[in-house]
Amino acid sequence: MLSLPQQLPTSTTAYVNVRPSATLAAAMAIGVLAGLSKAADTTTPAVVDAPAAATSAPAAQPAPSAVPDYSGDLTGHWLGLRPKLQKGGLTLGGSLTTDGSWNLSGGLATRHCAYRTLLTLDVSLDTKTLFNIPGGTIFASYEGLWGQNGNATQVGSLQGFDANDAAPFSELYQLYYDQMFGQMLEVRAGRQDACDFFGEPPDAQMFLNPSPTAFPTMIGTAFYPNSAPGIVTVLNPSGPLIFKFGAYYFDRFHPSALDQALNTLEPTGQPAGTFLIAEGDYNWQINGNLPGVVALGGTWRTGQLNTLSGSVQSGGGSAYGYIDQTLWANAQSQSVAAYEIISGGDEQVANNGIDFSSLGGLLVTGLIPRQSGDQIGVAYNWAHISSQANLPKPYELNFEGFYAFNVGHGITLQPDLQYFVNTGGGIYPDALVATLRVSLSF
C-alpha cells in the first residue's frame, strides 16, 4: 500500500555548495561546441516573457541596433549601465517570488499557513558579441528556496498545489552552453532543467498547480527542483515542426565529471540512472494572430526503481500529449487561449501513485482594458491513482482559479484559489487552499 506520511514525497532534495572548478567543465563544453559552429551565422529565437514558477531560461539577445528596455523591471536601467552591458553581450536578470498559502478547510491541516520564497539570479553571455562565435550562449543561474513545503504541511495532495514547493535549497542551479547551428539544429550541454524545452504548454505557465507544467505521471525527472547534467538536441528549432531529444544523468554513487566539478550531486530521492525524454511539436497560426501547438512526447527513466508493491524493477516510462490554442485575440493585446494535456505512466512505479492524468485550462489576457497584461485563469487537474497504491479513492481532482496583475515596477500580484476532491486519494478531507503570489522582476 502506498504510504502517505505527514511529509509527502514532494521533492525532497539535498544540495551542497558549488566549487570554483565548475568553470573548467563549462569551458570544455564551449570549446567542443564552438569549434563545430564557428562558421555558422544564426540568431537566437525570441523568448516570450512569462513569470516562471521555478527556473529561468536565457534572455534572447537583441539585435545590435536595438535599445534594451528595462523600464518594466524593479531595478530599471541601472543609470544606463544595464543596456550597455547587454549590447556588449552580457545580460543580467533575476526574480523573487514569495507565496503565502492558507488552507481554509479540509486537507492535512486546516487553518494552517505556509510561506516560501524562491530567488533566481541569472547571467547570459552572447558569444557572438564577446568572442565572435555566432549562435552561442553561455548561461548560469543561481536559485535559492526558503520556507515551508505547503503541500507537505497543509494539504497532502498527490499532485501538489504550488509548483515552488520543495525542500529548501541554495545552489548553482543551471550552468550550460547553448549553440545554434543555422536554423536547423540547436544543442545545449551542461547542468540544466528539462522544463526549458519539454512539456511546457505556453498558456499553462501561470497556473500555480505543478501538474500542467511537470506532468504527474513522469518518473524520476530532471524538472524543478532536480536539474541535472545533460545534453539536449533540437532539430528545426525555428520551424513549425520541431523535434527535441534530451538525456539527463543521475548517479550519486558514481557521479559524472560535471557533477564532481560542481560538487552538487544527485538529489537524495533519485536512484542512479538516466532520464531520457523526446518530444515532437507542430506549431501553426490561424489568421496570422492565433498561434497553436500540438505536442507528443515520451520519457524513460533507467535504473532500479522501487515499485508501489514494494519490489524493484528496471526502468519505467511515461507518455504525454498536449494541445494549446489561442482562440481569440485583438490588436489591444487581449486574448483567450485554452490547453488540454493527457499523460500516462507505468502503474507499477507511478509517481505518488498517479498513472494517468487529464489536465485542462482557459487563460484570458487583458480582460480589464486599463490593467495592461492582467490574466485570469481557470483549470482542472484530474489524476487517476494506480490500483497498486491501494488508496481509498481511485482519483484526485483539483480545480484552480487565479487573477494576476502588474502593479508596476516589475511587481506582479497573483491571488489563487484551489479546491481538491479526494485529497491524497481520499485519505484527507476535500481541501480548499488560498495562495497569494508576489513576484518581483529585477
More confident residue, 399 or 54: 399
**Residue predicted with more confidence, 281 or 305:** 281
Is the per-residue pLDDT at 435 higher than 50? Answer: yes
Alpha-carbon span 233 to 154, nearest angstrom: 40
Strands 241-250 and 228-235: antiparallel
pLDDT digits (tens, 9 = 90+) for 306-357: 888 888 888 899 999 999 999 999 988 899 999 999 999 988 887 789 999 9
**What confidence tier does 29 reach under pLDDT thresholds 50, 70, 90?**
very low
173 has a pLDDT exceeding 90: yes
Confidence of residue 293 (pLDDT cuts 50, 70, 90): very high
CA distance 1 to 156: 17
Nearest to 377 by CA among 396, 411, 405: 405
391 within 8 A of 55, measured Cβ to Cβ: no
Of 115, 126, 133, 129, the closest CA to residue 59 belongs to 126
In angstroms, the CA 292 to CA 274 distance is: 32
C-beta of residue 173 within 8 angstroms of C-beta of residue 229: no
E strand residue ranges, 236-374 = 241-250, 273-286, 290-306, 312-329, 335-345, 354-365
d(CA 154, CA 421): 15
